[in-house]
């Protein structure tokens, strides 16, 4: 009914009612969680296997709920998107990730690029550029240490706005990465339309690499394309030595996955980076 609030929930059948009720309480909890500072970031290292260096860290949000435990983003990002909560949440992620990266630099660690996932709604915000600019300035982080990850479906929503925004961000000196590359409908056309620096090969192509000659051919084609477009390529979801070996043979130099490290808390990143330095 109209009175049930700004989400305009309508109860069509009892089963749906149950789902809606669950979502509604989750929505309330999520609101509180953001307010109470229950969101945390984990960071997953991105390795260049040729140089043996950590060149980046991807910031991945988690909800540390006192009642429910550690909750992965798949469980609450869709709801945050639907309710608009993704906007304050996204700003918090950007700021926290940049601050953390600055902190590591001030500790004297070798500088790395911090990768932040954008959401569809953030990309449609006219003030995104200003938000990024202000955040970098207030934190004192050079734009070249920030990368923003977008997916194809986010770009599709409004191609004109997305293109203009990404171009301006890039002019600012921020890197732009296409996440989950190869899974959308127009990935190839988008390479021409949008100013990417990096392609992230979707995990689905890496997963069965040792059994699938098709995946091998797809990744090989992506590598060829990337050279033509002068793009960096990173393979996601690398879990075992076989995958590593095959990716190496395909001349893919940058990788992210459980084989190297799971996403880590900021404290564990510190240990990881210091350990890496000593090697």
- The footprint of ligand C2E (CB under 6 A) covers 44, 59-61, 72-74, 77, 90, 93, 117, 119, 179-180, 203, 237-239, 257-258, 263
In the complex with Ca ion, the residue whose CB is nearer, 117 or 198, is: 117
How many chain residues bind Ca ion (CB under 5 A)? 4
Q: Does 152 participate in binding Ca ion (rule CB under 5 A)?
A: no
Least Å from the CB of residue 74 to ligand C2E: 5
In the complex with ligand C2E, the residue whose CB is nearer, 158 or 203, is: 203
Q: How far apart are CA 54 and CA 113, in angstroms?
A: 9
Nearest residue to ligand C2E on Cβ basis: 257
* Number of residues that this document lists for the chain: 279
What b/e string do you get for 6-36 counting C-beta neighbours within 10 Å, with b at 16 or more?
eeeeeeeeeeeeeeeeebeebbebbeebbee
Least Å from the CB of residue 44 to Ca ion: 9
* Angle between the N-to-C axes of helices 14-35 and 86-106, in degrees from 0 to 180, rounded to the nearest 10: 40
Task: Of 223, 180, 186, give the one whose Cα is nearest residue 201.
Answer: 180
In the complex with Ca ion, the residue whose CB is nearer, 29 or 39, is: 39
Residue pair 157/124 in contact (Cβ under 8 Å)? The answer is yes
Residue pair 138/100 in contact (Cβ under 8 Å)? The answer is no
Least Å from the CB of residue 3 to ligand C2E: 32
In the complex with Ca ion, the residue whose CB is nearer, 149 or 215, is: 149
The residue assigned the tokens 């979707």 is: 202
List 27, 38, 149, 253, residue binding Ca ion (CB under 5 A): 149
Q: Which residues are at the interface with Ca ion (CB under 5 A)?
A: 117, 149, 179-180
């Amino acid at each position: 009914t109209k009175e049930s609030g700004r989400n305009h929930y309508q109860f069509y059948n009892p089963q749906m009612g149950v789902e809606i009720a669950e979502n509604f309480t989750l929505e309330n909890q999520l609101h509180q969680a953001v307010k109470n500072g229950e969101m945390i970031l984990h960071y997953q290292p991105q390795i260049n296997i040729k140089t043996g260096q950590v060149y980046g860290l991807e910031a991945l949000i988690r909800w540390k709920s006192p009642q429910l435990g550690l909750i992965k983003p798949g469980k609450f990002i869709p709801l945050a998107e639907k309710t608009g909560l993704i906007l304050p949440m996204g700003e918090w992620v950007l700021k926290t990730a940049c601050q953390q990266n600055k902190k590591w630099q001030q500790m004297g660690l070798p500088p790395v690029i911090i990768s932040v996932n954008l959401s569809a709604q953030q990309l449609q915000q006219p003030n995104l550029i200003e938000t990024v600019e202000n955040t970098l300035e207030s934190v004192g982080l050079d734009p070249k240490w920030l990368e923003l990850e977008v997916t194809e479906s986010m770009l599709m929503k409004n191609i004109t706005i997305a293109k203009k925004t990404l171009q301006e961000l890039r002019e600012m000196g921020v890197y732009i990465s296409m996440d989950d590359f190869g899974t959308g409908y127009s990935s190839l056309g988008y390479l021409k339309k949008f100013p990417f620096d990096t392609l992230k090969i979707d995990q689905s192509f890496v997963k069965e690499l040792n059994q699938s000659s098709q995946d091998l051919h797809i990744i090989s084609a992506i590598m060829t394309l990337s050279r033509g477009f002068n793009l960096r390529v990173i393979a996601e979801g690398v879990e075992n030595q076989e995958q590593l070996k095959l990716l190496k043979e395909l001349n893919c130099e940058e990788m992210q996955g459980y084989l190297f490290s799971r996403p880590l808390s900021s404290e564990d990143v510190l240990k990881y980076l210091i350990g890496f330095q000593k090697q």
